[in-house]
Structure 1
């Protein structure tokens, strides 16, 4: 009874999933909003352990703890920006959405953003998120100058690349398993306006897509390719490529000249119900892919876009994860070295043969890796595919893809994973033992763990 009465309010029992809406598990959820409440949430953990959680945008089970405790940090928010240096300190529960509302009107932008702004700062570090500018700027952890970490023993440690570097880099990409990130300081990026100068174009096949991305990466700050996974034959791998940079004030249309740093992401249009599985079929997916490809200009075309329109288009549709039906979906994301594009081509062909049932297939080019042992990006190519759950052949197909990726020195993104076989982990992340040694030094009893860490043998 003493343990329960000491815990912060509110507390509740909740059934939690990741963004893919698969593998729900129940946990005790605590939502601290003060330092004292966070202290109490970390003390006397249940036998099943505990893990921190932000906005739940990891696709799998990284922010779940079946039968244990989940510390909800979404109320743990605060932002402090130094407009002279761009140094930004924020609490770990602060979302990128909130950061942008503070930064953009003050002529700054986050150094890296994923495809959604509904990710917390703590989650961005724990998953070492990447964006359309990895070839130029790397992943988010590379821009963090320091962070405050609460380790399993309750210590409050300030760590940085210079101060406790091993623990710092184990925390970057460490999936929340070295402790609870309380706050972090990163360097925001100055921008010329709140609008993006975008170049949109089509490519005819995968070879052309790869060649064009390599060419654009020499000049463009941001690049990404949406791939038509339903296309076959000579059109296989055809894409819509968008590249961009922040626009200069003199490039803005007249209606924006008077407010060059205005930022209003607007309200999303929600998906009110989960559609039945029959809605998502090869015919409807093929029609969507064809329409999306035809919507893009035949020849390269420049345009001015908003920040939400270019960086976070899916955020314009609330609860879009319902589109894949009541059983949910998996987002499978791999990265392979530059020398293994043939492996990507083969994987894409096999996906296409199964019906190409993906609204979202994305190809991007990564630059060099950082120093974090469990960080996902490495120099090469990353492919992201959404696949609905339900096909009985899907597990075997993805297992085969995992093996092919591991054989060429690639890896699967842990923040997206919900089903990878644990025996492949060490091959994909060759510095795994190094990471486990650091983690054991700050949590020798394995008090901080998640469904993902248990499933993959990380804890």
Structure 2
């Protein structure tokens, strides 16, 4: 999917995040190779703060303002989209940063390999996946994306290219660093071996939030993926009711004898995206419609089922087939809320869920999952705990104050919100959420003293 832009004149383009809440104007440059990207960075560095710097951008799926740069330059990295090498023996791929996860899957799956971590959409670039240190439904077993990166090439503010390895401060600042340490040019990624393009899925209902946490925390299940759709409009005894799914990549021997996948078990069949409709009415998702969708989702789910075979894209990316789904919340856009609350702070999670349910916030879908060990990134979002994700219409009255109150509750419990999807968190809340924030700022100041790499988000949060 292409980045959604609107050209205003020969120089400026209006760019917004996926949430469409705060568009700003910038000059967009699309380098066709490493040399052009380096030349662009050197030119912006020479102009210093007068030129408002630059920031890299992929496919525009960050909800907030992480890949915007008002008055400056944005490097559209989608032109650097070559898969440079695949080692099917070692299970490694080397690719440029502009390659999408969708394209990687299409190329690698027929060879018996898959990306080790994928977020809820496959329409993100590899560079964006590192810069956001994305996570998936298998975080408890696989960790976040950066854990599987064995090396990356980083274009720094001086125009030089560094090979950055895990275990170094620059790697830890770049993984989840939102593009503020430099431009990721290429990535070497460790892959996951698979035998089919199907998932084996177990489904069960949870009656309320306590029941859901008990099921998610159960040690009797050994699936690598686990995520729960949660009804955040349910109240009373049903507060936090959910449908929990667990899954593994299906082995070939698990396929029924006459299953069509036996003939071509590694075929990548994501289905074509439907053509965008000429008009997408806003405000489709409100309290009434979301309540109906939640009821339908819960009632249609099996009380308990095991081993159902499902295409991996249907399990991992169920919303990718809906074009312009970011528009259905209304003209004002959509505000995501992504938070994680540490294990042992379940009462704080209950408080957050009760606040959302009590206010009647319409979010579909909303999910809860468990995070495993945190990644190396100083600004990476995942840490051990309960991760709640929901999207809210930006036009809800009093939404800003409501989310600020949630931030305080989450931070007070030792949790954090996700910066890669943020568009509104207050800068004073960051220190409690990200204890290595000062280290990030210090390394960035040393590496890029003239703030060559900057974004709307970095200015807003003084990163």
Give SS of 1:405's match: helix
What is the rounded CA distance, in whole Å, between the counterparts of 1:428 and 1:285 in structure 2? Answer: 31
* Between 37-46 and 282-291, the greater mean CA deviation after superposition: 37-46
Question: What are the equivalent positions in structure 2 for 1:266-415 lying under 5 Å apart?
Answer: 266-270=271-275, 272=277, 273-277=279-283, 279-415=284-420
Q: Which moved more, 1:415-424 or 1:207-216?
A: 207-216
Query: Could you tell me which residue of structure 1 aligns to residue 151 of structure 2?
Result: 146
Map of 2:125 onto structure 1: 120
CA distance in 2, matches of 1:215, 1:259: 35
Partner Cα distance (1:425, 1:230) in 2 = 29
CA–CA distance in 2 between the matches of 1:276 and 1:244? Answer: 34
Question: How many Å apart are 1:369 and its aligned residue?
Answer: 1.1
Mapped partners of 2:286, 2:314: distance in 1: 27
Partner residue in 1 for 2:100: 95
- For residue 194 of structure 1, report the CA deviation from its aligned partner: 1.2
Query: Structure 2: which 5+ residue stretches go unaligned?
Result: 1-9
Is 1:135–1:217's contact at 8 Å kept on the other side of the alignment?
A: no
Does 1:446 pair with 2:445? no
TM-score of the pair, normalised by structure 1: 0.95
CA drift at 1:251: 1.6
Q: Deviations over 1:275-296 (max 9, x none)?
A: 233x332111100110111121
Give the 5 Å matches for 1:48-63: 48-63=52-67
Q: Compute the displacement of 1:12 (Å).
A: 4.9
Kindly indicate whether the alpha-carbon contact (under 8 Å) linking 1:198 and 1:304 is maintained by their aligned counterparts in 2: yes
1:19-46 deviation line (CA, Å, top 9, x unaligned): 1111000100000112232122212215
Are the counterparts in 1 of residues 381 and 419 from structure 2 also a CA contact under 8 Å?
yes
Question: Do the aligned residues in 2 keep the contact of 1:275 with 1:324 (CA within 8 Å)?
Answer: no
Contact map agreement 1:270 1:320 (CA 8 A) in 2: no
Of 92-101 and 298-307, more deviation after overlay is shown by 298-307
Of the candidates 71, 78, 91, which is equivalent to residue 74 of structure 1? 78
Q: Would you say the 8 A contact 1:270–1:319 is kept in 2? A: no
Name the SS of the counterpart of 1:269 in structure 2: coil
2:163 paired residue among 155, 158, 171: 158
d(CA) in 2 for partners of 1:442, 1:103: 35
CA distance in 1, matches of 2:220, 2:340: 17
Instruction: Give the match's secondary structure for 1:18.
Output: coil
Which residue number corresponds to residue 7 of structure 1? none
Aligned residues: 445
* Mapped partners of 1:388, 1:321: distance in 2: 10
Matched, 1:130 2:141: no
CA deviation string 1:342-378 (max 9, x = no partner): 1111111111122230011110100111222111111
- TM score, norm. by length of structure 2: 0.94
Alignment partner, residue 4 of structure 1: none
Question: Aligned partners of 1:308, 1:432: CA distance in 2, in Å?
Answer: 35
Query: Could you tell me which residue of structure 1 aligns to residue 5 of structure 2?
Result: none
C-alpha displacement of 1:422:
0.3
- Name whichever of 346-355 and 66-75 sits farther off: 346-355
Distance of aligned partners of 1:113 and 1:259 in 2 relative to their CA distance in 1, 3 Å threshold: same
**Residue 35 of structure 2 corresponds to residue 30 of structure 1:** no
Contact 1:226 1:241 in 2 (8 A): yes
Aligned with 2:304: secondary structure? coil
Residues 59-68 or 241-250, more deviating: 241-250
* SS of residue matched to 2:345: helix
Runs of 4+ in 1 over 6 A off after TM superposition: none
For 1:59 and 1:378, locate their aligned partners in 2 and report how far apart those are by CA, in whole Å.
Answer: 21
Of residues 341-350 and 63-72 in structure 1, the stretch that sits farther from structure 2 once superposed is 341-350
Shift of 1:154: 0.3
Deviations along 1:235-288, whole A, 9 cap, x unmatched? 1111011110011112224211111111121112355223233x3321111001
Asked if structure 2 preserves the Cα contact closer than 8 Å seen for 1:18 and 1:58, the reply is yes
Structure 2 CA distance, aligned partners of 1:235 and 1:444?
A: 53
Which of 182, 192, 195 is the matching residue for 2:185?
182
Aligned partner of 2:227 in structure 1 is: 224
SS of 2:445's equivalent? helix
